[in-house]
Amino acid sequence: MKKVETWSAEDVSEWLSKEGMPEYVHVLRQTDGPALLRLTKADFKVPPLSRVSPDGGEQLLERMEILRIETHIEDHKNGHANGHVGGIPNGTSKPQRNGTLGRKDFEREMIHIPMPTIEPARSPFPTEWGKTGIAFIYAVICFVTTSVVISVVHERVPPKEHTPPLPDKFFDLFDRREWAFSICEINGMLLVGLWLIQWILLKHRSIIGRRFFFIVGTLYLYRCITMYITTLPVPGMHFKCSPKLLGNWEAQMRRIMKMIAGGGLSITGSHTMCGDYLYSGHTVMLTLTFLFIKEYSPRRFWWYHWFCLALSAIGIFCILLAHDHYTVDVVVAYFITTRLFWWYHTMANQQSLKETSQSNLLSRVWWYKLFQYFEENVNGTVPRNYQLPLSVRPLHWSRGVKYNRLDIQ
C-alpha cells in the first residue's frame, strides 16, 4: 500500500471515490496526502467543506482515522514504527532477519495502538415509514371529507334555469369542446402514473411520499372550505347534475362511496354532482404531480420534464376548453398548489426554518407542528437518488474494520 504521506492530489481523489465519497472529489481536488491528514472537524464547519455533506464530515473523518491506523500498522509491520531500524537490537550480537526485532525484544517493545470504536453513523435521511403512513391516512381523510362536502354542496347548487352561468372571459373567446375534459382526465392519469413509477424507484421514497400525501391532503382540505363557503352556479348549460336527494342520507352515502371508488373522475362515471368549482381539483393534481416529478428527477432529464409540463399545461387548458370550470377556479388552484409546494420545500430544506422563533414567520402556519413532526429528522435537501425497491443488498454484519495479524519473524 502506498504511503498516505506520498499521495498526490490524484491519489486522494481516487481514494475518495473508492471509499464511496465522490462528493468530496471536486472540493479536495488540490489536496494531497499530507494535507488530507491535516484536516480536522473545524475544517468541515466552514465553506467549502461545510456545503458538501450534512453530516459535518463525520464519515470522512472516520475513514481518515482508520487510514492513519492502517498506515501505522503497515509501518510497524515493515519495521519502521517508533523509529526502529534494522540491525542489532539492544546491543545483541545476533542480527535479525529482515531488520526486525527478535521475538523477546518484540514483546518487550510492543506498543499499544488504541482502536477507536466506530459507531454507526446516523443517516441524515431516515426512512420512518410510520410517519409516511400517518401522512397517507391524513390524505385519505381529506379526500373522503372532500367527497362528503361535494355531496352537501350539490344540494345547494341553484338550478341552471334560474341562475345561469356567470360571465367568463375564456368562455367568450373559446367555444366549448365536449371531448376536452376527457383529454384533461387522461393527461391527469398519465401524470399520476408516471409519478407513481418514479416514486417507487426513489431511494428516499418514504420522505418524499409523506411530503406528497401531506401537501395533496392539505390542498383538498382547503378545497373543502372554499367550495362550501361560496357555491357557484354551474359554468355551462351543458351540465347534467344528479337530482337532489333532499336529506336522504342513505342515498347520499351511496353516492359518496361511488365517487370515492371512481376516483372523483367524470370519465369513470363516478362524478355526477355539481358545485365543486372553487377551486379546481383537476388543476391541483395536474400541477402537483408535475412539480413533484420535476423536483425529484435528475436535471439532465429535461426532455422528461418538458413532456410532463406539456401534459399538465394541455390538461389545464382542456379544463377551460370543456367549460367545466370557471377560469378563476383554475387560477386559484394553480396559485394555492404552487405556493404550498414551494413553501413546504423551502422550509424542509432550511434547517433554521424548522425551529420556532420570532424571526421565522412561517412557523405561524396552522400545520407547522405537523410539518416539524414529519421533517424533524431530515437534515438537508433530499438527494435525487434511485434504487430498485426490491433490490438485494449485501448485509453488513459489522461496520468495524478488520485487520490481519502481524506476522513476527
Give the bridge partners for 202, in sequence order.
386
The residue from 154, 271, 324, 329 that is catalytic is 329
Backbone angles phi, psi at 386, to 5 degrees: -125, 150
Q: DSSP alpha helices (H): ranges in 296-380?
A: 302-321, 327-349, 368-375
Minimal CA–CA distance to 65: which of 124, 121, 16, 118? Answer: 118
Q: How far apart are CA 112 and CA 109, in angstroms?
A: 10
Q: Is 162 marked active-site? A: no
CB-based contacts of 65: which residues, under 8 Å, 6+ apart?
116
* Overall residue count recorded for the chain in this entry: 409
Q: Which three cell numbers stand for residue 282?
A: 383537476
The residue from 154, 204, 271, 325 that is catalytic is 325
Minimal CA–CA distance to 227: which of 158, 262, 274? Answer: 274
Q: How far apart are CA 111 and CA 247, in angstroms?
A: 89
The residue from 204, 271, 282, 323 that is catalytic is 282
DSSP output for 52-74: T-TTTTHHHHHHHHHHHHHHHHH
Give the bridge partners for 300, in sequence order.
none
- How far is C-alpha 371 from the geometric centre of its chain's CA atoms? 14
Minimal CA–CA distance to 44: which of 60, 31, 30? Answer: 60
DSSP output for 232-244: PPPS-TT--PPPP
With beta carbons less than 8 A apart as the criterion, state whether 217 and 138 touch.
yes
Q: Strand, coil or helix: what is 386?
A: strand
Q: Is 325 marked active-site? A: yes
Q: Which three cell numbers stand for residue 316?
A: 389545464
Catalytic positions, please?
282, 325, 329
